Structure formats: C-alpha cells, structure tokens
Structure 1
Amino acid sequence: MGIELVTPQTELPDMDELSFTDTELDYHVRNALKAAVQGDRDFYNQLVAVMHHKDRLVPEEVALLVTCLKALTGAVSCIHIVHHRSLLAAIFGMSLWNYGTDVMDAMVELLISLAASSGQLVDLCLEMLVTNFMPPSSSSTHFIELLKQPRGVDKKHQVLDRVHSTFQDIANLVPLTPLRLEKIVRERMPNIYTKEPFIVMYVENMLRLESGAAGKLVGGSMIVAIMDRLIDLDVEIAWDDILQDDFSKGIFDMELEDLEGFSDHVQQDGNELTRESLIQRFFGGNLVAEKLDSLLVLTFEHLESCTESGRLIQVFETLLQSFQKTVLTAYKSKFAQFVMFYACSLDPENCGKMFASTLVDIFVSGVYPAWRMSAVAYLASYLSRAKFVTPSFVATTLESLVKWCFEYCNNQDGDINPKAHKVFYAGCQAIMYVLCFRMKSIISVPRLRSQLRLLRIEDILRHPLKPLQVCLPSIVEEFLRLAKTNGIFAVPDTFADYGMLESELSRAFGGIERLDMFFPFDPCLLRKSDRFIRPNFVYWSMVRSSYYEDEEDESASDEDITEAGVDMADDISVDEDIAHFDEFDYSLDKMSITPRDSSAKFGGRVHGFVQMPSKIRPSTSPESL
C-alpha cells in the first residue's frame, strides 16, 4: 500500500505531506531511528506524533498509522530502549480499544517483534498487553455504556482475543514469558475500588490465562490472586452493612429462601416483602458487595468449565492451599468461602472429602488455636449445610472429632475454663451443631445409628470441663432436645444437671473474637451467586420442619432418606413456608446466636426447649460481646 501525498524536495516535511511507498517508508523510518541516535530528531519526532494520534482518525490517517507500525516492525533492530524512549512510550501507551482491527493487528505484530528483538523490551510488551485487559481509564464511562451493546461486546472480543493470542506468540519466541507475565498480572490487578465492569473484566482475563496454554505455569498464581482479591472485597463489607436496620424495629431472623417459593409477595406488619426486596435491604447500593457477587459468579462459572474439561481437582488443590492461607485466617469471612463450597458440590467424592479431611487435620493437629477453632467451625458448617455430603461421611467425620475430644478429656484433670480449653469447646460445639442438622439422616440408616450410639459423646458432655455450660445455649438446647426425642443419648428431663445455660461462661467462650459464633456457610445473601449455592444447600427451615413433623407424627415416613444422601428441600412446601413465617421475629438479636431475652430466644420454646435459630450470624449487639 502506498500513500500518495505531495513531497517537497527542499526540506524534510511533515509526515502527513509525504508520498512514500511501503518500501520507501520502511527505509525512511529506519533512517529516522538511526538519525535520532545522532541527534537529528525531526523525522523521528513526527513519527512519534503519528503514534500519539488516535482520536477520530480519517481513513488516510488510519492507513498512515498502520503503515508506520508495519515499518517499525521491520526496523525493530534499530530501536534502542534509551535513545528511542519517547517512541517506545508512545507505542506502549497505545490502547487496542481505541482502534479498528487493522491498527490492532499492526500493533500486536510490532509487539511480537519488539519482544523477540530485545529481552529488555519483553516486560514492556507484556505490560502493554495486560493494560489492555480493560478499556482505557480515560474513556471508562464511554466503554461502560458501549459494553452493554452488541457492538461493544464484539469490540471486547476483538481486543481480548488478540491480547491472548499475542501472549502465546511471544511465549513461543521467549520461553520465560509465562513467569514474567504472572508477576505483571498480579502487580497490575485492580484494587477493590475499581469500577465493577473493569475489575470483572480483568479477573475474566486472569481466568482465561489459567485455562489457557500458559495455565500449567501461571494458573495456580492466577487462582491465588483472585482468592486474595475476593477476601479483600469480603472484609471490606462490615457486618454493619448487613445488620444495619433500626434497632427499635429490628430485622428478620430468617433464611431468605423461605420467601423463594412465594408466588407473589408476603405481608408482614402491613409491608410487602419479597426475596428481592430483602436482599436489597441488606446490600442495596453496596458497591463492594456487588463487585464481590459478580466475581463469585465468574469464579463459579470457571469452576464449572474446569469440571467439564476434567481439571477441577487440579484447580481445587490450589484453591485449598489458598483457603488455608487467606480465607481460613480471615476474620469472619462472609462470602468468599463459598468458592470452596461450590467447588466441593461439583465433585463431592474428591473435592468434598479433601476439603473436610483438611479441616479435620487442621483442628486435630494444628498449632494456632484460632486457626483450629476456625477450621472446626468451617467443618461443622460444611457438614451441616452441604446437601451433597452423605450421612455416612458425616458420621465418619464426626467420629474423628469425638475421638479427639474424648482423648482431650482423658488428659484433663481440671475444671471448666472457657479460655484455657477453647479449642476443646469449639470441637464439642461443632459436634452438637452438626447433629442438630444431620441427626435424622444419620439415625435413619441402621448401621449409622449404631455407629452414633457407640461414640462417647455423652461421656464428653458430662466431663468436669462441662462443655454444655460453655457452648452456645441455642445449640446446646436444640441438640439436647433432638437427642432426647430420638433416644440416642441419655438426656435428663430437665437441664438442671447441666447448669445455667445462659451464663458468663458461654459469653466468655472465644473472647472478643467470638469464633464460637462463626458458622461460615450460613445462607449466602448475595443476589447473583446465591443461585449457584441454593440447589446444594440445606436450610435450617428444612431440617426444623422435618424434625417438628416427626414430633407431631411419629409415624412419619423416612422413605426419602437413603444412605446416598438426604434431600430435604422437597419436603418444604409454599404453604409450610407461609405457616412458618410468623417465626421471623423482629428482634435484631435473633440475627445473633446470643439473644438479649433468654426467655424468648430463637423463636421461643417448643416442649420446654429453646429452638435453633433459623439464621445464625455473628452478633453485633453489646450483650453478646
């Protein structure tokens, strides 16, 4: 392609007025680069100006830019990182998003040649490509609107397809490219304050790298970096963002799925309530929560694709390492941990068992008490909430916990002490919590019922360490009620033998950290990601309805309960949900596991016992601290 323009013969003109064939322009560009080293920068400066020109280019200007880029590609051996710094800055400052496909193709060809010509330029080329993971910040508003339209989506594919193919082309020429790229991607990852469409797009590109040709080298690093950012967003959401209602009115102690089946709406104290409005009540306008929600969906979809390609176990092993370093040690992570839950749901036999076994190992053999308490809280919540975990596996895992607690008791001669024995109390509470959720599914299998009877749980609970006086009253009383109802343990007619349940001892357990109140797989309150979790999740309303129906009708059938698992969701009808709606008390304390009014805590008493709370969330009320 030649550019036919008038060429003055007396002096070096403006480039826009030059008339060169492609070959001639290659020659002049090469000479301009050499002349710039000698101090003659006139033509060189005009070449740099062409690289900077990007706004509303007319066809002739596009042709000139493409030709100059191609000429530079042929002259990369003449480009010096010091003498041609302004030219390189102009090139690396260009954004693929600002140009059409002809310019994009010429740009990536130049980048490949630059990277192959000098090891000093490889990182700069990679950084320029990574910058194109997102549209330029100077035009962010324009691109946010554009990406909502089909032509914007097409533009996105045009840019990102070229970015990732160029990574591979450079890697073929420079073997260490993936390792250098990994560092750049991590360092340039957007912070939590980046606009949602852009941070989502950046993570989308990270996941594309993870599943691409370079995945074997950089994939693990991408997964770890994403989990780190999820935690950054998670901890930015304060509990006050969730529990932010008027204390005089309180908010509902409810699991949001209880409204899922309502065909229209529910009236509560004259106000219409829908599941959408309740989620809006928690997180409406919370930009951090919305970003976290979108990134979780993106991660869940990536895990699905890993399952389809047979890579899930490989990715899960990285996730598990990241979980132990970041999520497990984070202070009351709210939602990021659901990445682990969803991955386990995709492969319960491998990933699910690996996750539980890791948590058991940390609790039994860990060094740091806080981490051990967190691990057993995760384990209890996981075994209770994961519908895909079989009763057999629950019983086997409980046996490991009971064994540790029993041996601990045998090695202790002292009396009750919440601070000194907090890991032990955390283990006892985990055992009772799991049995509150899973007792029926276990005892419905004769072999497992016998296995449960053989455990020394009663000996542990009657030990002088008196865990029933230290663990959370709501869990203790619900456990004792169910144990008595099902005849598994010898439970007295009254709780007098166990001491005062609502006591300073139970408040002291865990100290200010309140890890005793932390059940990380409580229902997910995020709008979009909840749909991935919901089909595999056990809600307390399902368990409670099943137990209470048995109390009213001891002849209730257990046909739906099998050794392979329990699906309690089908037992809950819309009518039953509405019937239970009056339990959604207005007290803010009922979002907590430690209520202010111990005479009516957690929905009042049934047959003289305190009910398990429908929703368990860490308390923010002063009384619980």
Structure 2
Amino acid sequence: MGGVADGHAEMGDVSDYELSHHVREALKSVLLGDTDEYDQIIGNMHHNVRLVPDEVAMLVTILRALAGAVSYIDVVHHRSLLSSICGMSFWNYGPDVMDALVELVVALASSSGKYVDLCLDMLVSNFIPPYNFLEILKQPRGLAKKDQVLTRVHSALKGIADLVPLAPSRLEQIVRERVPNVFSKEAQMVVYVENMLMLESGDMGELVGNAMLFELVNRLIDLDVEIGWDEILLDDPSKGIFEMELEDMARPVDETEIEMDEPQREYSGRKVLWGNVVAQKLDTLMVLTFDHLQSCFKNGRLVQVFEVLLQSFQSTVLNAYKSKFAQFVMFYACSLDPEDCGTLFVSRLVEIFKSTIYPQDWRMSAVAYLASYLSRAKFLSASYVTIVLESMVDWCSKYCENLSSGEINPKVHRVFYAGCQAIMYVLCFRMRSILAFPRLKSQLCNMPLERILKHALNPLEVCLPSIVEEFLSQAKAAGLFHVEGTFVFHDLLESELSRAFGGFERLDLFFPFDPYLLKKSDSFIRPNFIYWSMVRTTYDDEDDDDDEEGVSDDDEANDGVSNGRGPMSYEDDDDDDDFDMNLSKMSITPRNNTFMFGNQDNQRMRMPSRIRPSTSPESL
C-alpha cells in the first residue's frame, strides 16, 4: 500500500482487490494507533488543484477503494477521513473523480444511518459553487461545468434515497437549512434555487417536490418583504388609488438618490427596483420560477404543482405583510391555465372569504386578492367575472339580512366592508364590459347591490373614498341605481360624504395585484395584465355610437379568449422592446379599441396616475 499511496507506482501493479485490502488494513490500523497509511490516504484526498493524470488516477482509485471498505469506517476513529470526504467539492474535479466520489458517498450513506445526514449535507453543499466559480458560471465553460456537477450531485441524492427510505425527509430539512439568505450573492441564490427546482421536477419530485415548492415561496417572500414601499415611493395620502397608478412614473428622478446608468435614470422614478440589490435578486428568482411553471404547463403537470402552490399561498403569502411581488407566482400560473388553476384559485379565495372558521384578517385578505385578480387578469371573461361577483354580492346581501339591530361599529363588520369594497373595485374595472352583454347586464341589474349599499351599515361611508367615488361615477353614467330618472346616490356623490367618513374609519385593504414593477420578470406578467389606463369606463363617451349597438349573447361566449382578441380582452403592444417606455407610463396602450379601450391621450383626468403601495389588513 505504501508504494501505491506514495502515488506513483504503476497502477497496473496493484489489483482492485489488493488496493481495497490495503485500504481496509489502513483503516483498521488506526484502531491500533498506527496512522501512517491512513494519513497518506487523507493526504492524497486533499489534492485538488491542477492534478496531473497520475494524481487523478490515484485519487480515483483511492475513492473507489474506500467505497468498497465503508463498513470499516468508524465515526469516532476516522473523523479526519469523514471530514476530508465531506470537504471535497465536485466543482474542483473532473468527471472521473466526480464519478468515484458519487460511488463513495452513496456507499457510505447506505452503510449506516450514522452517515446519512453527513452525506446528504455534503451533496447539498455542492448545490452552490465555490466563490471563485461564480464569475465563470456566466461563460459557456462554466455552464458546462455546472451541468457536469449537478447531474452527478442529483444522481447521488437519488441513489441514497433509493437505498435509505428516510433520506428524503432528511434531505428536505437540510435543503431548508442551507438556503442562502437574502444577503448572499445573486449567483449563489440562483444556482441553489435551480437545484431546488431540479429536485421538484426530477426523479425525486414525488418525495421532496412539495417541500421544495414551499421553500421556494418562502424565499421569495423573504426577499419581497426586504423591499419596503417607503423605498419605492412616498405617497400623498390625500390622493386615491386610481389617480396614483401612473403619476409616480412621471416623477423626475433626483440624481442624488441613486447612482445608475444614464438610460436607466431617464425612466426610473422607482429607485429601489433598479438600484436595490434585493429587488434584483428577487427579479431573477421570479424569472426562474415563471420558467419552471411554464415547463410544468408544457409537461402537463401544472395543476399538480399549482395545488401545492395554493397550499403555500394560503399558509405563507395570503397574510404576508406588504407582499408586493411573490403573489404573482399565483397570477402567472393562473394565466397559463385559467380554466383549472384559475378556478382553483378563485374557489379557494371565495371559500376563505365566506367561511367563519378563518380569522377576519384572512377573510379580508382573501377578498382583496379576489378583487384584484378579477380586476387585473386579462384572460378572464366578463361572464366569469359576473358569476363570481354575483356570489360576492349574495354573501353581502345575506349578511345584511342576518344582521341584528343595534349600534353599528365598523370594526365589527370589517369582513362585510371588505366584501363591499371588493365588489366596487371589480366593477370599477369591469362595469363597462359587463354592461356590453345583454344577459350579463341583466344579471348585474338584478343583483341586490342597491339594497346593500343603502343598508344601515353604510358601506359607502366606510370604504375607501377613491373606490366609492369611481364606482358611483361609473354607476351614474351607466344608468344604474336610478329612480324616476334620478340617481339615488346623487347627494353622496356630489357632497363627497364618503371622503369625510372614509377618514374616520378608512378600510385600507391592499389590492395585491397592483402593477408589477420588476424589470426582467415583467415580460411574463405584462401580456396578461390589465392596467387602469387600458380600461374604458362607462363615463368615457368615446365610441358610444358603437357601444349602443350592444353585443349579442353569441359574442358573449367568446368574451374572454386567452389569445387576447375577444370583446372582453385587451390587446397588447407587440413591441416588447418598448418595456422601458411602457414602465414610464405604467400602461400599454392598445392599438385597436374595443368595448373597454380608450385613447390614452383622451382619457379623463380622473383616471389613475400612480400606483398605490399595497397596505396590509393589519392597518385596521
């Protein structure tokens, strides 16, 4: 063994059996106090820089010999050997050494339960390359190396899982513990998340896939909450949510705020999204997540993945304080499959909103998500939106009917007010499209909205004034709530009574699908998203001659086709290179106007002008 371990005897002089025998003897000698041969083995394992062919051959041979002698490795007496094995990085070696290392790690893990966590931890540590490899990953040779490493790491994980039944549950915990924190390098986070997604979609997906999705959402939330709204913009509390959606993007940038390239400074009023490192990391991870969902959709497994995401959403995202972007994972999945994923999402939100088994904050958050989704999802038909609205109105109506008389305390009825506000918010976006179809118009007019709004609970005096004002303006223009030609809420609209009462008990619910502000991942969201500037309101009288003709019930069946060409749909600006210009306007101006389209240049001044930062139900 001495000649072999010294390194440079001819390998043909020693058979595999002889080498395994010598390794076993070296391991046993340690128990007797003789460590010479043992130390030579460890010394060879520490060579990892610019190995010559003979050194590579020696290392491969030693690793394979150790794989055949794992039953002789003792957790107490061979700590330095175990430490050497765990300290070996796949990234430092070529394919032959990596293959031998995989063989050794799998053999060691399966030899005793004592080594399972040790081996799994060693493999997971190889999810992230050494620091000096991070820049190389941007080059073709770096990508090739990454593929070589990760293929073998995941092969080893699968081999251990096949041999050790408890390994997958241990792997889940180790992956969670080793996730890079928000202050890690972006390249490290990206490669780690890629590995998590490889586990989710690979051979071990059935065993650990759910846990990987849950952990991914947790990481997105961790990054998301690090980005404070106060860093993005300062709000004028006197302005409503509609008139704030675009205004901020026109705000000139103070050159002292942030150092950035000149082209960026031209159109970025939101310094955090271009200058905040955490936002850039989140943006990159959102791209990875969206790509993964797209792959799942193509492979016919999106619904399976979405069911897990929905559980994660309910337990993590639903009440995350001021979450701004992580929730768009749900939005994008729904856009890929509105019929299945979208229906699951809406059903869960409606169920949470209506059920008293959930805390009030959960129910208020759920109906805010529901309203924001129905309002912003371009792929939803007017008929579907009307069905969900009818369900929301029905709940609010029954709530009023079952209310016992007594003093009205708005705080006690927060869920009811949240529901009313959600209904009005959706109608601000969708009223004109619903009224364009005779059957849907009849459905809307037959809903007991007026009875709810005139109830003693006075929702118009409690909900956000900007939503109340916009809703009443559109309702008045549409001819709703008229008695003998007089608008029944005329005095409220003209006197701005809700603005005064709104200041007394504001219902500052968030609308979580506000315009998306991450640059790289925006391309996934933008084609499926409705900006307020795209909405034709009922008081916008442009093209009224066309609208007066109405839409037939036959047309209604195609009012929300996913290709963006139905009467209910919104057409995109096809020039994706205009992203920066679109951001500066926070809108996409459609070329061909249909029922809800208007010429942006001719939009009324009451249209939104700046996004309002989402606020949590905790503000109540």
The alignment status of 1:613 with 2:608, answered yes or no, reads: yes
Between 1:44-53 and 1:277-286, the stretch displaced more is 277-286
Where does residue 30 of structure 1 map in the other structure? 24
Where does residue 440 of structure 1 map in the other structure? 432
Cα deviation 1:458-507 (Å, max 9, x = unaligned) = 11111121111111111111111111111232234733478643545313
How many Å separate the matches in 2 of 1:455 and 1:370?
A: 26
1:174 is displaced (CA, Å) by: 2.3
How many Å separate the matches in 1 of 2:34 and 2:574?
A: 83
Cα deviation 1:392-444 (Å, max 9, x = unaligned) = 11111111111111112123334653322221111111000000111112111
Between 1:331-340 and 1:282-291, the stretch displaced more is 282-291
Where does residue 160 of structure 2 map in the other structure? 170
How many Å separate the matches in 2 of 1:54 and 1:567?
A: 63
Between 1:153-162 and 1:40-49, the stretch displaced more is 40-49
Where does residue 599 of structure 1 map in the other structure? none
How many Å separate the matches in 2 of 1:275 and 1:559?
A: 45
The amino acid that maps onto 2:80 is S
For the residue of structure 2 that corresponds to 1:147, the secondary structure is: helix
How many Å separate the matches in 1 of 2:182 and 2:124?
A: 18
Alignment counterpart, residue 208 of structure 1, candidates 173, 194, 198? 198
1:390 is displaced (CA, Å) by: 1.5
Distance change (3 Å), C-alpha of 1:63 and 1:280? farther
Where does residue 509 of structure 1 map in the other structure? 505
Where does residue 375 of structure 2 map in the other structure? 384
How many Å separate the matches in 2 of 1:84 and 1:61?
A: 23
How many Å separate the matches in 2 of 1:40 and 1:350?
A: 67
Where does residue 122 of structure 1 map in the other structure? 116
The amino acid that maps onto 1:71 is A
Alignment counterpart, residue 494 of structure 1, candidates 480, 490, 493? 490
1:548 is displaced (CA, Å) by: 5.5
Between 1:304-313 and 1:277-286, the stretch displaced more is 277-286
1:332 is displaced (CA, Å) by: 2.0
Alignment counterpart, residue 41 of structure 1, candidates 35, 58, 63? 35
How many Å separate the matches in 1 of 2:36 and 2:253?
A: 79
Alignment counterpart, residue 430 of structure 1, candidates 419, 422, 435? 422
Where does residue 234 of structure 1 map in the other structure? 224
Aligned pairs, how many?
569
CA contact (8 A) 1:478 1:612 kept: no
CA contact (8 A) 1:442 1:449 kept: yes
CA contact (8 A) 1:33 1:78 kept: yes
Alignment counterpart, residue 290 of structure 1, candidates 256, 280, 300? 280
Distance change (3 Å), C-alpha of 1:270 and 1:279? closer
How many Å separate the matches in 1 of 2:253 and 2:325?
A: 30
1:552 is displaced (CA, Å) by: 6.4
CA contact (8 A) 2:106 2:159 kept: yes
For the residue of structure 2 that corresponds to 1:80, the secondary structure is: coil
Where does residue 404 of structure 1 map in the other structure? 395
- The two structures have a TM-score, normalised by structure 1, of 0.83
1:244 is displaced (CA, Å) by: 5.6
Between 1:56-65 and 1:535-544, the stretch displaced more is 56-65
CA contact (8 A) 1:469 1:500 kept: no
How many Å separate the matches in 2 of 1:244 and 1:19?
A: 74
For the residue of structure 1 that corresponds to 2:50, the secondary structure is: coil
1:91 is displaced (CA, Å) by: 0.5
CA contact (8 A) 1:26 1:74 kept: yes
Please give the residue correspondences for 1:456-495 in structure 2 after superposition, counting only pairs within 5 Å. 456-490=448-482, 491-492=487-488, 494-495=490-491
Unmatched tracts of structure 2, length 5 or more: 256-261, 561-566, 587-600
Where does residue 127 of structure 2 map in the other structure? 133
CA contact (8 A) 1:374 1:515 kept: no
How many Å separate the matches in 2 of 1:75 and 1:572?
A: 65
1:256 is displaced (CA, Å) by: 7.0
CA contact (8 A) 1:405 1:428 kept: yes
Distance change (3 Å), C-alpha of 1:214 and 1:492? same
1:342 is displaced (CA, Å) by: 0.6
CA contact (8 A) 1:474 1:612 kept: no
How many Å separate the matches in 2 of 1:222 and 1:350?
A: 22
1:338 is displaced (CA, Å) by: 0.2
1:274 is displaced (CA, Å) by: 7.5
Distance change (3 Å), C-alpha of 1:505 and 1:488? closer
Please give the residue correspondences for 1:210-359 in structure 2 after superposition, counting only pairs within 5 Å. 210-243=200-233, 277-278=267-268, 281-359=271-349
Cα deviation 1:205-255 (Å, max 9, x = unaligned) = 1111111121112111111111111111111111112116999xxxx9775
Alignment counterpart, residue 185 of structure 2, candidates 195, 204, 207? 195
For the residue of structure 2 that corresponds to 1:161, the secondary structure is: helix
How many Å separate the matches in 1 of 2:480 and 2:52?
A: 83
Where does residue 596 of structure 1 map in the other structure? none
The alignment status of 1:78 with 2:69, answered yes or no, reads: no
For the residue of structure 1 that corresponds to 2:410, the secondary structure is: coil
Between 1:546-555 and 1:76-85, the stretch displaced more is 546-555
Distance change (3 Å), C-alpha of 1:488 and 1:573? farther
The amino acid that maps onto 2:608 is P
1:450 is displaced (CA, Å) by: 0.7
CA contact (8 A) 2:474 2:539 kept: no
Identity within the alignment, %: 59
How many Å separate the matches in 2 of 1:132 and 1:256?
A: 45
How many Å separate the matches in 2 of 1:536 and 1:258?
A: 22
Where does residue 51 of structure 2 map in the other structure? 57
For the residue of structure 2 that corresponds to 1:495, the secondary structure is: helix
CA contact (8 A) 1:179 1:218 kept: yes
Distance change (3 Å), C-alpha of 1:356 and 1:116? same
Where does residue 569 of structure 1 map in the other structure? 570
How many Å separate the matches in 1 of 2:307 and 2:266?
A: 35
Where does residue 523 of structure 1 map in the other structure? 515
Where does residue 564 of structure 2 map in the other structure? none
The amino acid that maps onto 2:164 is V
Between 1:559-568 and 1:376-385, the stretch displaced more is 559-568
The amino acid that maps onto 2:518 is L
How many Å separate the matches in 1 of 2:35 and 2:53?
A: 27
Where does residue 413 of structure 2 map in the other structure? 421
Cα deviation 1:115-142 (Å, max 9, x = unaligned) = 2222221221111111111112xxx1x2
Distance change (3 Å), C-alpha of 1:245 and 1:321? closer
Where does residue 563 of structure 2 map in the other structure? none
Where does residue 359 of structure 2 map in the other structure? 368
Where does residue 593 of structure 1 map in the other structure? none
Structure with the larger RCO, 1 or 2 (CA within 8 Å, 6+ apart): 2
Between 1:143-152 and 1:273-282, the stretch displaced more is 273-282
How many Å separate the matches in 2 of 1:494 and 1:231?
A: 44
Distance change (3 Å), C-alpha of 1:30 and 1:448? same
The amino acid that maps onto 1:389 is L
1:27 is displaced (CA, Å) by: 2.8
1:275 is displaced (CA, Å) by: 10
How many Å separate the matches in 2 of 1:218 and 1:256?
A: 43
How many Å separate the matches in 2 of 1:421 and 1:275?
A: 46
For the residue of structure 2 that corresponds to 1:488, the secondary structure is: coil
1:551 is displaced (CA, Å) by: 5.0
Between 1:561-570 and 1:193-202, the stretch displaced more is 561-570
1:102 is displaced (CA, Å) by: 1.4
